[in-house]
Amino acid sequence: MFVSNPPKDLLRRDVDAPIIKKKFENNYENVTYFGMPGPEMLDVKEWLDYLGFVIAVDNDLSALGVMNMTAASLKILDRVQFLRGDVESILVNWQDEDDEAPLRDSFDVVNLDFVGGIMGFGEDADHDKRVNAIRELLRHQRNETTSFIMFLTIGFREKHMDEYDRKLRHIGHELDKLGLDATPTIEWYFSHPPRHKLKVYVPYIVDEIGRANRFRLDMYKCFYYKGTNDIPMMHFVFDMEYSVENVSPERLGLRALLDCPLFIAHQDHVKACPNHPPPILGASP
């Protein structure tokens, strides 16, 4: 069922589109999109001027039919591929449920929409399926030496909040080893809503996987908004820069990670979240 979501529309239009435009300036016909645009392909429609080829994934068969009609109305049927199945399985197996492989070996714009959260999808043994999918994506991107922008939209899954807490404690220990006392900051995160933990956790994971594949996280942003039916959502933007010389790319500063502002997207504007953790004093590691 199509329901418009103004904050998400705003992010697509005012945040994501300018980033794509700037990154691929004057080379839009070669830009390949891979993602889960949904039946109405709202992101593709918004970014159409900056996209060359579109690979659209959905596991809902009726959505694929509607997507096809949307692509026809956008007159992009000759530059769109539809893949059927879970995006995680497609990235891991490099083929969809109909044994069809993506028509491009790497992507320039990746839009992943994990409504249920980055963790906790599927059975317990399979709970990191989405992280694995991101790992496979980066491996493919490295093999093709392709820098890209990744948009990641995730919901919250309380079930695995322990994992977020564990990672925050680990960051605190790392900073402690460097002689910095981050305890007040870490405690602040524990006492605040989970969106703040995710703001730290997700970029930390993406940076780790990225560095293992010679990608430097050039820039990232994170936004909080209320999605359809007021479900809280997080939207991340990652600019992943590949370099053959990035044998050991610079890691994301842990202090910067904890200090990074969280933005909140409303109906018609974006503003910085007024709640911010206390700063960590001392030199940045």
Partner 1 sequence: MAEKTNDFKFDEGDIGVFLMESITTGLYKNPMNVLREYISNEIDNDPPPEIIEVKVDANKIMISGDGPGMDFDGIRQAVKVGFSTKNLRDNIGFRGIGIYAGVALCNRIVITTKKRENPKYYTIHLDCKGLKTDISEGGTVSLISSLEKNVKWSENTAPPEKKDYHGTVAFLMEIQEDFRDVLNEDKLRKYLEMTVPLEFNPGFLHRTAIKSYLRKSLANDFKVVQLKLNDSPVYRAPFYDALEPQITGKISADGKTLAVYWICQNSRTGKIPDEFSRGLIYRKKGFTVGDRTTITRLFLAEKNKHLIDYICGEVHVVDDNLLPNTERVEFEPSPARDELERAIAKVLGKEITNIARKKSAVSRAEQRIEQAEGLPNTPKFETKEDWIRGLTDARKLLDGLKTDTKPRNLLPSNLKTKAERATKRTEAWIDSNSTTPKEFSAQPEEKKEKPKEPEKPEKDERQTPKLRTDWVDGAVSDMCERTGYKDECELIHKFIEVLLSEGILSNDDQVRSLLQSLELKLTE
Distance in Å, CB of 48 to partner 1, minimum: 14
Alpha-carbon gap, residue 223 to 261, rounded angstroms: 9
| Residue 258, token pair as written in the block | 């904890």
| Residue 226, token pair as written in the block | 């209320």
Q: Which residue's CB is nearer to partner 1, number 39 or number 203?
A: 39
Distance in Å, CB of 79 to partner 1, minimum: 8
Distance in Å, CB of 218 to partner 1, minimum: 34
Q: Which residue's CB is nearer to partner 1, number 79 or number 251?
A: 79
Alpha-carbon gap, residue 238 to 148, rounded angstroms: 8
Distance in Å, CB of 113 to partner 1, minimum: 17
Strands 263-265 and 270-272: antiparallel
- Beta strands across the sheet bearing 148-154: 80-84, 53-58, 32-35, 109-114, 148-154, 232-242, 215-226, 263-265, 270-272
Distance in Å, CB of 77 to partner 1, minimum: 6
Q: Which residue's CB is nearer to partner 1, number 4 or number 248?
A: 4
Q: Which residue's CB is nearer to partner 1, number 93 or number 147?
A: 93
Residues that bind partner 1 (CB under 8 A): 1-4, 39-40, 61-66, 68-70, 72-73, 77-79, 82, 84, 95, 98-101
Answer for the pair 65, 34: CB distance below 8 angstroms, yes or no.
no
The sign of the dihedral angle between the CA atoms of 96, 138, 227, 120 is positive
Q: Which residue's CB is nearer to partner 1, number 9 or number 187?
A: 9
Alpha-carbon gap, residue 137 to 208, rounded angstroms: 14
